[in-house]
Structure 1
Amino acid sequence: MFKKAIFAIDEVRLRHEKYDGSLGGEITRLTLERGDGVTAVVYDVDTDNVIFTEQFRHTTYERGDGWLLEAPAGMFDTVEEAPDDAMRREILEEIGYEVEELRHITTFYLSPGGTSERIFLYYAAVSSAHKVGVGGGLISEGEDIRAVEIPFGTAIKMLYAGEIKDARTIIGLQWMQMHYPELRIRGN
């Protein structure tokens, strides 16, 4: 196993049962063990804005300018940390909002062919009353994050124009688009 910082690469040799009931031959797979993450579509019910983060992502630099618009997201601080606690912490760190209620949308694997990472996706309704900090991320983690508020309708146009490239954010926005009438009527 190779391990550095929050990443570990594990080599696994295994056999598994095939569809016909027979046991397949031994195969070798490499798995990126990154841990689980959280993401939330954050919606300001008073302004009809979706609140994104914008930050530099080195892995996207060779195929673009490196700056991505994303839903607030992060990793668990400890294995014991509950997903909703991790999400609340990340929203506060990145965009400065204190969130009382999170609505769990789904949990999914980001890229199961090569990484074990699961994403817990949430929806969070906020208003100006929930703004308690400046956000921006943690300097100690090398973060330089800008909060960006975009009207919901504009965000959906950007999504379908291919301007939003983060898979977690795309899934969250599509969920929000499907539930938008109910979210606007209930205000949450």
Structure 2
Amino acid sequence: MSMGRCDTDVTKDKDRPRKVYVLESDLVYDGFFKIERAVVRYERFDGRMSDPITRYCFERGDSVGVLLYNPKSDSVVLVEQFRYPAYVRGGPGWILEIVAGIRDKGDSIRVAKSEALEEAGYEMERLEKLSSFYLSPGGSSERMDLYLGYVSKPSQEGGGVREEGEEIRIVELPLEEALRMIERGEICDAKTILALLWLYRRKVEEGR
């Protein structure tokens, strides 16, 4: 069983609008990330073109996420770290999530292996592609490649790269407990919820 891939070739659906005209485009911020402002017209579902509208796009590159899973103990390895955007929304700020990183250089498999080792200290025995998806297509161009990584025991300490300001706590827990934490609202990161529910669905379908 595999999840659907995010297909960007919308021309396969003959009934779907596909005309887009970019009338203006400029960068309004260019730093650690980029923000693009664009004026566009797009084809509506009735076949007519929309009026010119202004849209903004947050760009920081694509990313990779990996759910580390130990099949022998039926446990998952997550990482916990401080996330300022979550804190500023009124939460505690420390988020429990899967290993993840920006795909700024190299292919997604190489980045997945590197992040698993740096953040959690695990070398994966096997890596399986689950899905590709947009994280927030209403405002961001970022796409994530999501993987399931099979592990047994850590090969180094992990904990992130201190020079980059990372401080990461490694948390291994039974899959069933992670699922209960979703229900209790203790795991509230979308990519992590998606990966855990995917793994749960696979186990149900395989009768394990």
Shift of 1:98: 0.9
Aligned equivalents of 2:48 and 2:140: distance in 1? 26
Q: Who wins on radius of gyration, i.e. which is larger?
A: 2
Aligned equivalents of 1:134 and 1:55: distance in 2? 16
TM-score, with length taken from structure 2: 0.83
1:38 and 2:61 equivalent?
no
Choose 170-179 or 98-107, whichever is displaced more. Answer: 98-107
Shift of 1:3: 1.1
Give the aligned residue type for 1:132: S
Aligned equivalents of 1:183 and 1:91: distance in 2? 26
Aligned equivalents of 1:183 and 1:127: distance in 2? 21
Give the aligned residue type for 1:65: P
- What stretches of structure 1 of length at least 5 have no aligned partner? none
Q: Secondary structure, in 3 states, of the residue corresponding to 1:178?
A: helix
TM-score, with length taken from structure 1: 0.91
Q: Secondary structure, in 3 states, of the residue corresponding to 1:102?
A: strand
Contact in 1 for aligned 2:37/2:55 (Cα 8 Å)? yes
1:105 and 2:130 equivalent?
yes
Contact in 1 for aligned 2:80/2:170 (Cα 8 Å)? yes
Shift of 1:181: 4.8
Identical aligned pairs, as a percentage?
42
**Relative to total residues, which structure has the larger helix share, 1 or 2?**
1
What corresponds to 1:73 in structure 2? 100
The count of corresponding residues between Structure 1 and Structure 2 is 180
Aligned equivalents of 1:40 and 1:180: distance in 2? 18
What corresponds to 2:23 in structure 1? none
Contact in 2 for aligned 1:138/1:144 (Cα 8 Å)? yes
Q: Secondary structure, in 3 states, of the residue corresponding to 1:133?
A: coil
Contact in 2 for aligned 1:45/1:184 (Cα 8 Å)? no
Shift of 1:153: 0.9
Alignment of 1:13-32 (within 5 A): 13-32=39-58
Tell me how large the CA RMSD over aligned residues is: 1.5
Aligned equivalents of 1:43 and 1:143: distance in 2? 23
Shift of 1:115: 0.3
Contact in 1 for aligned 2:62/2:104 (Cα 8 Å)? no
Alignment of 1:28-177 (within 5 A): 28-62=54-88, 63-78=90-105, 81-128=106-153, 131-177=154-200
Aligned equivalents of 1:121 and 1:30: distance in 2? 26
Deviation track 1:131-161 (CA, whole Å, cap 9, x = no partner) reads: 2111100112110011100111111111111
- What stretches of structure 2 of length at least 5 have no aligned partner? 1-26
Aligned equivalents of 2:158 and 2:73: distance in 1? 19
